[in-house]
Amino acid sequence: MNTLRSGQARYPGNRWGAFADNPALDVGIAEEAWAALARSAWIESGGSEEKFNEAFPRYAKLLAQPTPL
C-alpha cells in the first residue's frame, strides 16, 4: 500500500512532507504556549530562567509580553 505523505512523492525516502516547502509551516501547540512548555522543561531540568532567556532570546521576548485579558 502506498503510504506516502504529502510532498514525499517528490522527495521519496524522507519524512518532511509538506514541511519541506515551507520552513514556517507548523502544526499543533501554538508558538507561545509551546515556548512556555519548553521553558518549564528547562527549569524542571535544573536550568535557570536567565539561561533559558539567553539560549532562546526570541522566545524569552515572546513570553515576556503581557497576556491579553
Region of residue 6 (phi > 0: left; psi between -120 and 50: alpha; otherwise: beta): beta
Is residue 49 a contact point for another protein (CB under 8 A)? no
- Which residue among 30, 66, 68, 69 contacts another protein (CB under 8 A)? 30
Residue 62 binds another protein, judged by CB under 8 A: no
Q: Is residue 37 exposed (0-12), middle (13-18) or buried (19+ Cβ within 10 Å)?
A: exposed
Which of 49, 55, 64, 68 is the binder for another protein (CB under 8 A)?
Answer: 55
44 binds another protein (CB under 8 A): yes
Q: Does 15 bind another protein (CB under 8 A)?
A: yes
DSSP 29: S
Determine if 64 is a binding residue for another protein (CB under 8 A).
no
Secondary structure class of 30 (helix, strand, coil): coil
